[in-house]
Amino acid sequence: QQAGTPLSDQEYHQFFMFLQVARRAKTACLLRMLYGCQNPLVQRLDKYENHGVIPKEPVCSELPGDPFFPDFCTFSLYRCTSKRYFIKV
C-alpha cells in the first residue's frame, strides 16, 4: 500500500481489534485500581487469566531484569501502573 492510502478492510479489522483489546485492558486496570484485588469482578478476571485459580504464591513474569513479584495482585498492579498490560506470568 502507498503511504497516505486507507487501510484495507482486513487491516482496519486488525487495527480496531487491537484498540478494543487495549481499551478492555485499561478498563480492567481501572477497576483494579479503584476497587482492589479483592473485588469480586477483579477476582473473576484474575481467575479467567489463570485458568480458574488466582496464584497465591510469588510469581515470575516475562519481564527482563526483575521478574519476581510477591503475589499475583502485585504483578497485576505493576502491569497497570506501568501500562504494560499484556505481560504474562
Q: For residue range 47-63, what is the model confidence (pLDDT) as tens digits?
A: 998 999 998 899 988 88
User: Looking at residue 12, what is its pLDDT?
Assistant: 82
Which residue, chain included where needed, has cell 483489546?
A: 21
- Which letter, b or e, does each residue of 23-43 get, where b requires 16 or more Cβ atoms within 10 Å of its Cβ? eebeebbeebeeeeeeeeebe
- Please identify every stretch of the chain with a pLDDT value under 70, giving residue numbers as ranges: 1, 66
pLDDT at 47: 94
Q: What is the dihedral of CA 76, 33, 43, 14, to 10 degrees?
A: -70
> What's the whole-model pTM score?
0.76
Contact 89, 59 (CB under 8 A): yes
Closest C-alpha among 28, 31, 42 to residue 85: 28
